[in-house]
């Protein structure tokens, strides 16, 4: 069956067909180049801001309703890019996030670099969007770099004082270090499987696990896996690859922190979901060759990341630093989905991850939007006490911030609640299901129910520092600063984020549509690919 798929090199027509859905990304890249070019002639805030903003809106429109639709011939997972439910929802998230960032960057910093700032956001949004659809290692790496490089430049443009330069350099060095680790891991994966196409890699690994192979091969796979996870762990600020985040967030501007805490995380989590096979299988687990070890790896990553992020956040007084740790904690929650791993579908791990990613991005972006708005207004917003009495002095911004904080805490009717609920559900289901089927039932049950409890404990600890901010808003007295400059765009972005937060909180199905719809024969076809490559096969 499907013998034509054994041909690894797709025909040009197939290639075109598989790339044609990426028209929005190409459009953004072209537009970004034009904006960069135009910026050398004119530096006008409204002009480039509007162009970029509407460019992103157009990209969303193109993503939702493609103008060119080439019928796919053959396996949708054969091209460099794959457009399934996951890429669809996350690319819209990337574009929306980019649109929000354009609005936030509108009045940020000096006016001389407004075109550059907008263009960089366009590039990074396109990069994140490509990353969520990347289906082979090369595309994935390119897409990730397309996110990283604009972020370096954004950091560089954001603040030009000593702290700013230091944080830019720190991020740059550590990012390169992480990319190197990831590439190292990629090379192992390619070396073992002979393919750069992720489904094939996974299929080959799955097959080889069933055969009596030399000891060296599993060891090499382990190295590959850990290296890749370490590289991507940097993007998603997983402990112990998180160290840069607090320093860099604090050293840069609110805008820089907003960029770093959103787009790279979308890209990183999407890549992790693809590489662990979360998107490809409806059943059968992550990285089959290692059985449950990858799950336990993510178990440790998740629990350490969320706990450390939350407890250190308790001590923070600088707002950006606090939100760096808060972001680390939320990344820890999302890693739970990767640890649970096996369930895909409407209530499965992937859906939980997507919902949480939407929640996280909207909450964080909205919070930074309010910070930017307030910073603009009072010329200074660094510490928690600078928010004192905000509910009185600026009720609208105060209300938006309170709603976002409620979502960050995870109160019902907000996306933060639905996300945590889905994750807890996944963890408990994993524990219960494996308790029945696995050889070591009690340990699985204990582990995953324990993880669910840990999420709840962490949510409680997290509630503490968010409530501290809320307390500052309501119960402390602040001094009314003369409103010099109000950034309406930032305020609107904050409000839009609240709308998204509540919309996802009430109707999570909005963002999970199509996620479970993965063609079921994909693993089988890829098994055939493995056969054709003379890999040892054990027919079971």
Closest separation between CB of residue 440 and other proteins, Å? 6
Residues belonging to the chain: 540
The vertex-180 CA angle with 230 and 216, nearest 5°, equals 70
The nearer residue to other proteins, 149 or 220, going by C-beta atoms, is 220
- Give buried/exposed letters for 233-272 (b at 16+ CB in 10 A, else e): bbbbbbbebbebbbbbbbbbbbbbbbbbbbbbbbbbbbbb
Q: CA 174 to CA 178: how far, in whole Å?
A: 6
At its nearest, how many Å lie between other proteins and the CB of residue 439?
A: 9
Please, what is the minimum distance in Å from the beta carbon of residue 312 to other proteins?
A: 5
Give 251-318 as a DSSP string: HS-HHHHHHHHHHHHHHHHHHHHHHTTTTT-SSS-SSGGGTTHHHHHHHHHHHHHHHHHHHHHTT--B
**Least distance to other proteins, CB of residue 68, Å:** 43
Report the residue number, 133 or 227, with the smaller CB distance to other proteins: 227
* Number of neighbours of residue 371 by Cβ within 10 angstroms: 27
Token look-up 């509407």 returns 54
CA 238, CA 242: separation in Å to the nearest integer?
5
Shortest distance in whole angstroms from residue 116 CB to other proteins:
26
Residue 134 bridge partners (DSSP)? 81
Cβ distance to other proteins smaller for residue 149 or 223? 223
Bridge partner list, 383: 318
Which C-beta is closer to other proteins: that of 313 or that of 511?
313
Smallest gap from Cβ 315 to other proteins, in A, equals: 5
The CA distance from 226 to 244, in Å, is 20
Nearer to other proteins, 16 or 300 (CB): 300
Residue with smaller CB distance to other proteins, 203 or 230 = 230
Rounded-to-integer distance, Cα 256 and Cα 238, Å: 19
CB closer to other proteins out of 461 and 503: 461
For other proteins, give the closer residue by CB, 45 or 383: 383
Min separation Cβ 507 and other proteins, Å: 18
- Footprint of other proteins on this chain (CB under 8 A)? 169-170, 173-174, 177-178, 181, 219, 222-223, 225-227, 229-230, 234, 239-241, 243-244, 246-247, 290, 293, 296-297, 300, 308, 310-315, 440, 443, 447, 461, 464
Residue 230 or 370 having the CB closest to other proteins:
230
CB of 307 to other proteins, least distance (A): 8
Instruction: State the distance between the two ends of the chain, measured CA to CA, in whole angstroms.
Output: 19
Q: Which among 347, 278, 263, 337 is positioned nearest to 86, based on CA atoms?
A: 278
Measured CA to CA in angstroms, residue 260 lies from 114, 274, 323, 353, 418 at distances of 18, 21, 11, 19, 24
Residue 331 CB, nearest approach to other proteins (Å): 14
């Amino acid at each position: 069956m499907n013998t034509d798929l054994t041909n690894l090199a797709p025909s040009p027509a197939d290639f075109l067909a598989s790339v044609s859905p990426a028209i929005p990304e190409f459009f953004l890249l072209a537009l970004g180049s034009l904006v960069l070019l135009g910026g050398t002639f004119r530096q006008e805030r409204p002009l480039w801001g509007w162009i970029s903003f509407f460019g992103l809106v157009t990209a969303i429109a193109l993503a939702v309703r493609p103008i060119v639709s080439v019928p796919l011939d053959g396996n949708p997972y054969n091209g460099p890019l794959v457009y399934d439910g996951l890429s669809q929802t996350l690319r819209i998230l990337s574009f929306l996030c980019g649109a929000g960032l354009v609005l936030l960057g509108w009045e940020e910093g000096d006016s001389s670099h407004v075109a550059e700032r907008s263009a960089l956001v366009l590039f990074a949004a396109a990069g994140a969007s490509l990353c969520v659809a990347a289906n082979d290692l090369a595309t994935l790496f390119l897409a990730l770099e397309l996110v990283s490089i604009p972020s370096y430049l954004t950091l560089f443009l954001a603040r030009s004082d000593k702290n700013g330069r230091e944080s830019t350099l720190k991020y740059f060095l550590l990012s390169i270090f992480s990319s190197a680790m990831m590439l190292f891991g990629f090379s192992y994966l390619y070396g073992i499987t002979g393919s750069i196409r992720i489904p094939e890699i996974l299929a080959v690994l799955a097959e080889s696990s069933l055969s009596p192979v030399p000891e060296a091969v599993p060891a090499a796979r382990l190295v590959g896996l850990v290296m890749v996870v370490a590289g991507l762990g940097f993007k998603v600020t997983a402990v112990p690859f998180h160290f840069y985040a607090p320093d860099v967030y604090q050293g840069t501007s609110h805008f820089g922190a907003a960029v770093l805490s959103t787009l790279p995380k979308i890209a990183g989590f999407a890549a992790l979901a693809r590489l662990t096979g979360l998107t490809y299988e409806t059943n059968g687990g992550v990285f089959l060759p290692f059985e449950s070890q990858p799950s336990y790896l993510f178990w440790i990553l998740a629990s350490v990341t969320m706990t450390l992020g939350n407890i250190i956040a308790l001590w923070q007084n600088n707002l950006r630093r606090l939100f760096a740790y808060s972001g680390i904690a939320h990344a820890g929650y999302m890693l739970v989905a990767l640890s649970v791993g096996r369930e895909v579908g409407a209530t499965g791990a992937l859906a939980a991850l997507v919902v949480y990613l939407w929640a996280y991005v909207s909450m964080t972006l909205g919070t930074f939007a309010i910070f930017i708005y307030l910073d603009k207004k009072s010329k200074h917003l660094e510490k928690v006490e600078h928010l004192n009495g905000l509910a009185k002095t600026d009720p609208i911004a105060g209300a938006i911030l309170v709603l976002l904080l409620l979502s960050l805490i995870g109160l019902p009717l907000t996306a933060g609640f639905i996300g945590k609920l889905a994750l807890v559900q996944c963890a408990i289901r994993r524990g219960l299901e494996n308790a029945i089927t696995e050889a070591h039932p009690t340990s699985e049950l204990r582990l995953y129910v324990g993880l669910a409890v840990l999420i709840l404990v962490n949510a409680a600890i997290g509630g503490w520092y968010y409530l501290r901010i809320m307390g500052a808003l309501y119960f402390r007295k602040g001094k009314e600063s003369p409103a010099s400059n109000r950034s309406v765009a930032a305020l609107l972005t904050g409000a839009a984020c609240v709308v998204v937060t509540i919309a996802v909180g009430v109707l999570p199905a909005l963002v999970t549509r199509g996620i479970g719809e993965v063609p079921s024969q994909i693993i089988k076809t890829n098994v055939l690919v493995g056969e054709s490559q003379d890999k040892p096969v054990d027919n079971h």
